[in-house]
Structure 1
């Protein structure tokens, strides 16, 4: 009789194309993975895999059997979800991957509240430069900052934040404050990017739209770093509102050219299968939608 554990090992090896990676994800040594694969091939009487020194490839028979394995594993997972289908009392572990800018400033403070509301749930949260990639490592959901790319994943919009230009009052006292977008390039502008190159901000107010091109004083792909640089008086940064709300409330930062805004930024939860989202994961997504939207707004209260 086939061992369900062997099927799971085989499926994970096919997905990762590696005995080592499959063992790491399953918590098994490579030797155990190899032994279970050999046992499965011996039971079936066919070769399922070609095991190279660098990569594992699937035989024709292996590819056919893999499709059936996915069906079996899917049925078992559906059964597990059925045991956790009470929306009022979700149980189990939710594995969520979070980009650094969200984890440090938005999501982190909410997790304690979430666990207090749902005491039977547990969380595994990882800050990652590649949260979507974590879905391939077995995570349930990945949080991302838009715009979305065509990844084939299902997206739930968590909220939207507006963006504008911000600076410390001390900087504007030293350098003066721009009175129009035309003056912006003569100031020290801080840009979000990974490369040293000319930058472009598109600003909009009511029905008017303008474009500002400039050479940035500071470039960083870390929005929190840019916010802190603006707070320290290094220049003017284009930032999402949620990162500046506290500093706006205390006067540590002010909006430059009030009313002129750059494009909104969307925040999303991504997962692979809309029909297979368990209640425990849906509970977290619904919670984040409810809690994040007011935090993402310009409203300081």
Structure 2
């Protein structure tokens, strides 16, 4: 395989007509210039330069090859300038994996805002709960809901949201609501996560803590579907408070056991080696950190 450094040395020798002057321009001794030219000629199996005590001249094969060298060097310099431009202003494609539930209710509007800020960026998204696996198949970053499983990847915490207990107003009118954690298992409860196991809430109020274990009447791993099931009156659910803000204001949902929270959800951006993360990806991560810091009080549509 051709060595790009050899091409650069050859082009400089042709331009300066001297091994010595080429070495001066490139910051290398004449002997290194000569060694690289010899290696290149051996690789191509032809003489590129004529050497004598007075001058260095290019052969017919050398002149032909010189034109291709100039084109190659020009293309690589264009590539270097393009990368430098991206370092200054994000552009190009970002492949993102989004989790079920948050893609529409929270992250979708934020990504639209990001694209408006950076018109040279293209976003390709996939909704999946297998984000870490997809990172190994060409995606740049995965948005994950914690806690995270251990992996050799890097995670940046984007933000978090407090959860509370909520139910539909009409359900509360028909069935009443629990006043203490002891009464909760007597009501229909909705679960988030694995659908084939018992569910567990850890409730907190100040220094008080209570654990509630239950078999869910309805369970899903999709946060948006859990909200819809709660709105439909299927039972009481633990939901991020920001997700219910508009429903509370418009009377569709009500808070159950006010003052108690039912946990905390953390959001992470997971990616590979931070030393090689493109500027466009780092810009997206920084944007989401800032936007989620403000956006968890945002009203979902």
TM-score of the pair, normalised by structure 2:
0.70
Larger radius of gyration: 2
2:246 alignment partner, SS class:
helix
**Structure 1, residues 72-92: CA drift from partner, whole Å, max 9, x if none?**
xxxxxx967445211xx2121
Which residue pairs with 1:188 in the alignment? 188
Which residue pairs with 1:179 in the alignment? 179
2:87 is aligned, of 85, 88, 96, to 85
Which residue pairs with 1:248 in the alignment? 248
Indicate the RMSD between aligned Cα atoms, in angstroms.
Answer: 2.4
TM-score of the pair, normalised by structure 1:
0.70
Which residue pairs with 1:218 in the alignment? 218
Does the 8 A contact of 2:100 with 2:223 survive in 1?
no
Distance of aligned partners of 1:224 and 1:134 in 2 relative to their CA distance in 1, 3 Å threshold: same
Which residue pairs with 2:142 in the alignment? 142
Q: How many Å separate the matches in 2 of 1:165 and 1:192? A: 12
Q: How many Å separate the matches in 2 of 1:298 and 1:126? A: 23
Q: How many Å separate the matches in 2 of 1:131 and 1:3? A: 38
Does the 8 A contact of 1:241 with 1:298 survive in 2?
no
Unpaired segments ≥5 residues, structure 1: 5-77
**Structure 1, residues 132-163: CA drift from partner, whole Å, max 9, x if none?**
11111111111100001111111111110011
Q: How many Å separate the matches in 1 of 2:197 and 2:132? A: 27
Does the 8 A contact of 2:242 with 2:299 survive in 1?
no
Unpaired segments ≥5 residues, structure 2: 5-78
**Structure 1, residues 156-200: CA drift from partner, whole Å, max 9, x if none?**
111100111100111011111111111111111111132344322
Q: How many Å separate the matches in 2 of 1:3 and 1:269? A: 38
Q: What's the CA shift for 1:3?
A: 10
Matches within 5 A, 1:1-301: 1=1, 81-86=83-88, 89-297=89-297
**Structure 1, residues 243-268: CA drift from partner, whole Å, max 9, x if none?**
22221221211110011112211001
Q: What's the CA shift for 1:111?
A: 2.0
Q: How many Å separate the matches in 2 of 1:124 and 1:271? A: 15
Which residue pairs with 2:24 in the alignment? none
Aligned residues: 227
